[in-house]
């Protein structure tokens, strides 16, 4: 009887842990000061594939499009230059935008409506793990998803930047399930031992 209940609880634990879609929010700072917080960008798994980025940035960025990328180094220092180049694990050396075959860190541009940026975008080739441990950079100008006529989409100066933590906070679901199974096994063993001792008494 105990074994059946243990199994049921374990199955429920797996069912609860599996779809735990993490959502991570990154604080975005003005690179001019490094300390003025402009707002946030939240990213999460997109059910159809890729990663959805939802900005919440108010009244700061000039109206129009802004280049938006995952840069390699999780450091926004030196006016955003410390973030290094676009995340490019395949070493393609090409800027082709979110749908291309170049840098994986080429995200869809963000649209600023009278300074306010709230419209989410989806980068179809990314996974959450590509974003952890990087820097999110927002450029002064737009992004034509090409290296011509200007390199890296032509976005120019790095206006805003946020450091993404190295890993999702909390234990991964597999570790939680393993821990749960261990606790249940110990619990079942203790109960059985208690029952057999009571029988002897």
Residues forming the site for Cu ion (CB under 5 A): 69, 137
Q: Which residue is nearest to Cu ion (CB)?
A: 69
- CB of 142 vs Cu ion, minimal distance in Å: 12
Of residues 13 and 108, the one with the C-beta less far from Cu ion: 108
Of residues 85 and 173, the one with the C-beta less far from Cu ion: 85
Of residues 110 and 137, the one with the C-beta less far from Cu ion: 137
Q: What is the dihedral of CA 78, 82, 99, 101, to 10 degrees?
A: 140
- CB of 44 vs Cu ion, minimal distance in Å: 21
- CB of 99 vs Cu ion, minimal distance in Å: 17
C-beta separation of 123 from 98 below 8 A:
yes
Of residues 148 and 196, the one with the C-beta less far from Cu ion: 148
Which pair of tokens denotes residue 46? 């997109």
- Pick from 86, 98, 89, 90: nearest CA to 145: 98
* Other beta carbons within 10 Å of 41: 27
C-beta separation of 93 from 120 below 8 A:
no
- CB of 7 vs Cu ion, minimal distance in Å: 51
């Amino acid at each position: 009887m105990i074994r059946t209940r243990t199994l049921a609880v374990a199955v429920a634990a797996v069912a609860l842990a599996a779809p735990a879609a993490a959502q991570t929010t990154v604080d975005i700072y003005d690179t001019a000061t490094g300390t003025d917080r402009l707002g946030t960008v939240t990213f999460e798994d997109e059910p159809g594939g890729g990663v959805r980025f939802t900005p919440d940035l108010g009244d700061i960025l000039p109206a129009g499009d802004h280049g938006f990328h995952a840069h390699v180094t999780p450091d926004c220092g030196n006016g955003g230059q410390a973030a290094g180049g676009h995340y490019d694990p395949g070493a393609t050396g090409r800027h082709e935008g979110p749908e291309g075959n170049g840098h994986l860190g080429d995200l869809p541009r963000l649209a600023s409506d009278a300074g306010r940026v709230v419209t989410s975008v989806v980068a179809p080739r990314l996974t959450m793990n590509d974003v952890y441990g990087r820097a999110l950079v927002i450029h002064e100008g737009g992004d034509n998803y090409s290296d011509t006529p200007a390199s890296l989409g032509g976005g120019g100066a790095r206006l805003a930047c946020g450091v993404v933590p190295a890993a999702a906070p909390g234990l991964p679901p597999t570790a939680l399930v393993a821990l749960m199974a261990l606790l249940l096994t110990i619990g079942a063993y203790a109960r059985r031992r208690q029952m057999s001792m009571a029988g002897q008494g």
